[in-house]
Structure 1
Amino acid sequence: MRVLQLIDSLEAGGAERVAVNYANGLLSSVDGSYLCATRAEGLLKSNVNKRVGYLFLKKTKTLDFKAIWTLHRFVKKEKITLIHAHSTSYFLATLITILNSKVKLVWHDHYGKSEFLQQRPQRVLKYCSNYFNHIFSVNLKLEQWAKTCLNTKSVSYLHNYAVLTATNLKTDLKGVDGKRVVCLANLRPQKDHFNLLQAFQILVAKYPDWTLHLVGKDFKDEYSKHISKFILTANLEQHIFVYGSCNDTSAILKASTIGVLSSQSEGLPLALLEYGLAGLAVVATNVGDCSQVIQSDKTGLLVNPKDELSLFKAIERYIQSEALRDEHSKHLQRLVTHSFSERNTIQKLTNTYLGLN
């Protein structure tokens, strides 16, 4: 079995990290493991194992015939038997399987707005789903949606797993050791950074020595500009720091104390798993499958989305009790290590591959 992971870019996003993790993790389980970035490379390229067969297509438009032909030839040359397409790369993958009828196609749905599925465009996806041999969904809502709305008979939920690669701290991390709150999330509206900013505005008035660190791709769009404006207007420049994408994420997490996600919608965020592996105490909004990882008052604290006061109070509980932080972080680390391990997930992945018709 020779498997190609197909992803649009290698920027530091959740779906991208999953594609890289799978390409690396499958090396000992399949005859050949490959990774193709269709549109852009990025920070995660350095995490790709040298034994993974790699292709960068430089695709520039939806129907890029040069890119289609290049991938078609690559699939034939490397004798790839299965394409595992992540997120929006399903369209290109469908075209390739039409050209290579013996190649099986698995689609991995990482849709980050699972709380708003009624707004999801589905016409092209529904057509392409006729060619999918299987769909993996990153949470239970997406699994049910695929079974109801798409034309693929074989659908299953497959939870994410995280890998923290040990790195030295290269980022000029502000703040005081032991008093850093980190949010690992690309600057996208569904991540609702404003909920967290408003909570931290309340928090700083009581705990001025604590700082907030936003790590994730900055798209330099209106959402990003509003975040910068909020920080300036609220005079929080010495308390809230925006870093963009970083290639020393594991070191940043190790240098932090509390991990936070304040999203309005999620699948099963890799950030929560990475917080757990790094030994952080975690506060998250109760959306998507976050509750499978953060079991309130056991492995972390869950709050309602769009409720900055509840978010503030949860972070404050951790600030006030180092013992609570230690207890929850140890339970979370144990849960992530045992229940969201690479070994278990890769085994489920290969079993599904082998069972495809």
Structure 2
Amino acid sequence: MRIVQIIDSLETGGAERMAVNYANALSEKIEFSGLITSRKEGLLLNQIDKDVSYLFLKKKKKIDFGAVFRLRNYLKNNNIDIIHAHSSSFFIAVLVKIILPKIKIIWHDHYGISQDLSSRKNISLKVSSLFFTGIISVNSDLKNWAKFYLLCSNIIYLPNFILDSSFSNEKLSLNGFESKRIICVANLRLQKNHILLIDAANVLKDKFPDWTFHLFGKDFNDSYSHQLKKKVNDLQLQNTVYFYGTTNNISSSLLQCQIGVLPSVSEGLPLAILEYGLNRLPVIATNVGEISKIISSEKEGVIIESNNLNALVAAIEKLIESEKYRNEIGLNLYNKVQKDFSAKTIVSNYLLWLKSLITFTA
């Protein structure tokens, strides 16, 4: 098979990282693996494997015929069979299929606000789904939504998977005391609920003054970002809570931390939890999205209800006070991630599904 991934940008979001993960993993499994970014490059450009063919379309507007024809030429020149379109990149994939009708489109739904799908309406996506050969949903709720709302019957649930993210020589030295760091990897968006984590840091600072919180993720410099930083200043937590923005080598930072936290109010299947697990970190996460499928028992991590400050504080306190407990659940989560969320397992299922679709539609 000859497959290309297409994504709007290469910034450090979950959908973007999965596009890179698929391209890299497939480069060892199929005849041709490519990656196309339509609108914007970013830090993830440095994580593309040398065996992956890469194209930047330089798309300037929603309907950019120059970008469409550049995409068409690339697909024709490389004899591509399948476009694997992530998130909103389905639109340019459909435009090019009108010109190259033999091309098959797989759409990958990474929608992160899966707690309120009843209000998710997208007419252009619904019409475009007539052109899809198949749909991949990253959680069960999204799969059910696609069955109900979209016009494509070939829908599969495939969880996200993790690859070794040590693609960079960048080594970031974290603030705070060694062996007393708590990390949160999440772009600065409202749904990630960093406010709850800052409130927890404020409650814990007197009892555990040496422990610090380290927040990694894209800073959009918007009202939410300003609110977070103002809160840190107002509570005088400048030496307790640190913001780092994005990094090209999160593994280097994870190795310097002892606890991983994700306090989101809404999620799909977050890569951050898988990254924590791959680095043997004990995890505290909220019971949203598919997180309970990763952390399915208290032996693999601590699940709390969202927006529950007391529960978050108690969970952090318990992990701080017992290194033995931290090591046990960190190891158990590592084993779970390796078993159920490895590239080998999920990419094998993906390729079997694609082969069945191609045979069915041939």
TM-score of the two chains, using structure 1 as the length reference: 0.98
State the alpha-carbon separation in 2 of the partners of residues 338 and 346 from structure 1. 13
2:331 aligned partner, one-letter code: K
Superposition map of 1:187-198 within 5 A: 187-198=188-199
The alpha carbon displacement at 1:354 in A equals 1.2
Superposition map of 1:131-170 within 5 A: 131-166=131-166, 167-168=168-169, 170=171
**Alignment deviations for residues 28-80 of structure 1 (CA, whole Å, 9 cap, x no partner):** 22110000011111111111011111001111211111111111111111111
Aligned in 2, Cα 1:245/1:329: closer, same or farther, shift over 3 Å?
same
1:29–1:350 Cα contact (<8 Å) kept: no
Report SS of the residue matched to 2:236: coil
1:339 aligns with 2:347: no
Report SS of the residue matched to 2:183: strand
The alpha carbon displacement at 1:295 in A equals 2.5
State the alpha-carbon separation in 1 of the partners of residues 157 and 201 from structure 2. 35
The alpha carbon displacement at 1:164 in A equals 2.2
State the alpha-carbon separation in 2 of the partners of residues 69 and 168 from structure 1. 37
2:154 aligned partner, one-letter code: S
2:339 aligned partner, one-letter code: H
1:6–1:36 Cα contact (<8 Å) kept: yes
Report SS of the residue matched to 1:133: strand
State the alpha-carbon separation in 2 of the partners of residues 205 and 99 from structure 1. 64
Superposition map of 1:105-120 within 5 A: 105-120=105-120
1:295 aligns with 2:279: no
State the alpha-carbon separation in 1 of the partners of residues 313 and 181 from structure 2. 14
The alpha carbon displacement at 1:337 in A equals 0.7
1:91 aligned partner, one-letter code: F
1:315 aligns with 2:311: no
State the alpha-carbon separation in 1 of the partners of residues 268 and 317 from structure 2. 26
Per the alignment, residue 285 of structure 2 pairs with 284
1:54 aligned partner, one-letter code: Y
Q: Point out the more displaced range, 257-266 or 292-301.
A: 292-301
Report SS of the residue matched to 2:50: coil
Per the alignment, residue 102 of structure 2 pairs with 102
Per the alignment, residue 202 of structure 1 pairs with 203
Equivalenced residues, count: 357
The alpha carbon displacement at 1:286 in A equals 0.3
2:173–2:253 Cα contact (<8 Å) kept: no
1:181 aligns with 2:182: yes
Per the alignment, residue 69 of structure 2 pairs with 69
RMSD of equivalent CA atoms: 1.1
2:334 aligned partner, one-letter code: Q
1:86 aligned partner, one-letter code: H
Per the alignment, residue 253 of structure 2 pairs with 252
**Alignment deviations for residues 90-112 of structure 1 (CA, whole Å, 9 cap, x no partner):** 11111111211001000000001
Aligned in 2, Cα 1:280/1:168: closer, same or farther, shift over 3 Å?
farther
The alpha carbon displacement at 1:198 in A equals 1.2
The alpha carbon displacement at 1:168 in A equals 4.9
The alpha carbon displacement at 1:214 in A equals 0.6
State the alpha-carbon separation in 2 of the partners of residues 300 and 169 from structure 1. 29
1:349 aligns with 2:350: yes
2:114–2:142 Cα contact (<8 Å) kept: yes
1:130 aligns with 2:130: yes
1:37 aligns with 2:48: no
1:271 aligned partner, one-letter code: A
State the alpha-carbon separation in 1 of the partners of residues 255 and 338 from structure 2. 16
**Alignment deviations for residues 220-273 of structure 1 (CA, whole Å, 9 cap, x no partner):** 111111111111111001000000000120110011100000101111101101
